[in-house]
């Protein structure tokens, strides 16, 4: 998928961010943590779909021995449409999670201490939600295993050359500098995504009831002043 294509559909993300809170307004206002659980569940399901798409594309290109044939590979329109729908659905699920959490924080914030509680809640949420993405992006290349092949005399020869970015180039690997072709043996994205899906499923199963219990508590149970008067 080219950068120009992503730029074309990026305005749709803004539309999704506006529509989701509007359409899910009643759920977010009445039962925000239920919306949060639905959003998390949707994100995990969409992650499974994305892994399936990646594995399917790897299967389609597995029999292409010629590097030029691989570079000219074009996804089908159905696969492209599925990826676009996946991106928009993931954005919608993320917006649902964020809006639901903000609604819950707004409901339980103690008016006696002003916006300090909201600031604390938002800061804690941001600290917990930002670092997993950074760690995932760091681990993907670490868990990706590949080798270099050189096409000579109508045969592929496996050579000892790194597929990492060369120090002399900002974009080419050592293998590509010698006109070789990097072949991925194990894709780190699938490893990281599968691991996180399993961890997410375990987390969802373990805290599902606890989150529902939080939703069932009265708002005054979260008030600091009530705790001090006991």
In 3D space, the residue among 88, 63, 58 whose CA is nearest the CA of residue 75 turns out to be 58
Q: Are 111 and 219 in contact (CB under 8 A)?
A: no
Q: What does the pLDDT read at residue 66?
A: 56
SS3 state of residue 217: coil
Sketch the domain layout of the chain as residue ranges: 3-113+200-228
Give the Å distances, CA to CA, from 201 to 138, 197, 220.
22, 6, 32
Q: What does the pLDDT read at residue 227?
A: 45
Per-residue pLDDT of the chain (230 residues; tens, 9 = 90+): 556 666 777 888 899 999 999 999 998 988 999 999 999 999 999 999 999 988 888 777 766 655 555 555 677 788 888 888 999 999 999 999 999 999 998 888 877 776 787 888 888 888 888 888 889 988 988 888 877 777 666 666 666 655 665 455 555 566 766 667 777 777 888 889 999 999 999 999 999 999 999 888 888 777 765 444 44
Q: What does the pLDDT read at residue 228?
A: 45
Q: What does the pLDDT read at residue 160?
A: 62
Give the Å distances, CA to CA, from 26 to 13, 16, 35, 93, 209.
22, 17, 10, 16, 22
């Amino acid at each position: 998928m080219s950068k120009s294509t992503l730029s074309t559909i990026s305005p749709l993300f803004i539309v999704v961010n506006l529509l989701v809170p509007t359409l899910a307004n009643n759920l977010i206002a009445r039962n925000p943590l239920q919306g949060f659980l639905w959003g998390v569940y949707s994100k995990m399901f969409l992650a499974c779909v994305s892994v399936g798409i990646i594995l399917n594309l790897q299967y389609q290109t597995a029999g292409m021995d010629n590097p030029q044939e691989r570079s000219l590979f074009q996804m089908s329109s159905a696969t492209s449409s599925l990826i676009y729908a996946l991106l928009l659905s993931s954005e919608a699920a993320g917006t649902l999670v964020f809006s639901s959490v903000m609604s819950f924080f707004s409901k339980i914030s103690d008016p006696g201490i002003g916006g300090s509680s909201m600031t604390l809640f938002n800061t804690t949420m941001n600290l917990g939600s930002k670092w997993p993405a950074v760690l995932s992006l760091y681990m993907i290349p670490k868990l990706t295993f590949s080798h270099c092949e050189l096409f000579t005399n109508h045969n592929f020869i496996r050579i000892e050359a790194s597929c990492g970015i060369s120090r002399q180039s900002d974009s080419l690997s050592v293998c590509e500098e010698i006109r070789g072709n990097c072949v991925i043996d194990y894709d780190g994205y699938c490893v990281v995504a599968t691991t996180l899906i399993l961890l997410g499923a375990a987390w969802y199963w373990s805290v599902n009831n606890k989150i529902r219990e939080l939703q069932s508590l009265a708002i005054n149970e979260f008030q600091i002043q009530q705790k001090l008067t006991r």
